[in-house]
Amino acid sequence: MMVVKTRKQAKRPPWKKILYGNFTYPDNYTDESFLDELKKNIHVRNVNYIEAFTGASLVTEQICLVTIFMLTYMFLLNNWVQLEHLFLFNVFNFSICYFLVFINTIEIIKQLRFLASFILLFLLSPVLKSLAQTISTDTIYACSVIMIILHLLLNDYTRPFSSNMKVIVSNSLSLNSIVFCSICLASRLSTNYHVFLLLLNTVQYFVLYPYVFTLYHCYIQRYVLLTICLVLLYNVCHVSVFYLFCLCIVLINIVCPHWFVQWYTYKLFIIFKRKRFHGGNHNNGDFKSEKNKSELESLWLSCKCVIRIEFQPASRAAL
């Protein structure tokens, strides 16, 4: 009997990746050749701490812009700064940005549109001030915090890098959220001139500055913005707010990049080729197109059930 069973097993056809084609094998049988086409860590680029720190500094840059915007609102709300000085400061900044943006542009129409937008903003300041005057201050501040968080979450932090990664971001929604926040806060200010300066700073911080930073690929502005935030927070706000901001900056720029580089070695890229059926013919028989599609889906489901992905530290040589 043992000889007969051995002969029957020897006559079995080789196992193939064909659904309902391996009748001589058990249902839970997995051949050694099943994972021959499985490839791991192909085209994986190693990430060092400098690259991770550079990417994290973009988040710090946006946080600093939001912090300066909120400090500007506090200065306008409490009348801690003269409006003439703030207006001259904005004119100086806009003049520099205007020169940097339009230095290579000779189209007069674009320049006129750029200037006309600020005139329109000044004319609409009384209307924007009255939009949320009937809403309570607590609701205004709660909506502002939500809009700021939404702005930071949806902002595109990959703008200086040439990457093909599909990231769930929306620059338009991020900009609209911070503009909505500024309009809500503008209703708490006293005069239309205060509202105009707040909206002018909003355009300056979140439209003009990011465009100039992206256009010239400069990095010095991150340290300048961080220094300005630290000086203003230390002199204006409570010391606990200053220490909380410093802790947040250290966490984002030092701790998080270190964790990212350390945990990136555990990331496992798996590529498994699926066999595709062309037309109505197959190497082992004739099938219809609908049956080929269902067969392919069933095969892929079986592949996912059999493969076990274990996250183990990948060696540096493999990466």
Task: Round to whole Å and give the CA distance between 187 and 26.
Answer: 74
- In tens, the pLDDT along 9-58 reads 556 777 777 766 666 777 777 777 766 666 766 666 778 888 889 889 99
Instruction: Please tell me whether residue 266 adopts helix, strand or coil conformation.
Output: coil
Report, as an integer, the average pLDDT of 255-277: 72
| Residue 60 pLDDT exceeds 70 | yes
Sign of CA dihedral 106, 107, 109, 115: negative
Residue 183: pLDDT band with limits 50, 70, 90: very high
Task: Round to whole Å and give the CA distance between 64 and 205.
Answer: 10
Task: Round to whole Å and give the CA distance between 216 and 218.
Answer: 5
Task: Round to whole Å and give the CA distance between 124 and 135.
Answer: 20
Report, as an integer, the average pLDDT of 150-156: 91
Identify the bridge partners of residue 38 per DSSP, sorted by sequence position.
272
Report, as an integer, the average pLDDT of 185-200: 93
Decide: 242 and 230 in contact? Cβ < 8 Å: yes
pLDDT score recorded for residue 105? 62
Cα–Cα distances in angstroms (integers) from residue 267 to residues 41, 132, 164, in the given order: 9, 48, 19
Instruction: Please tell me whether residue 129 adopts helix, strand or coil conformation.
Output: helix
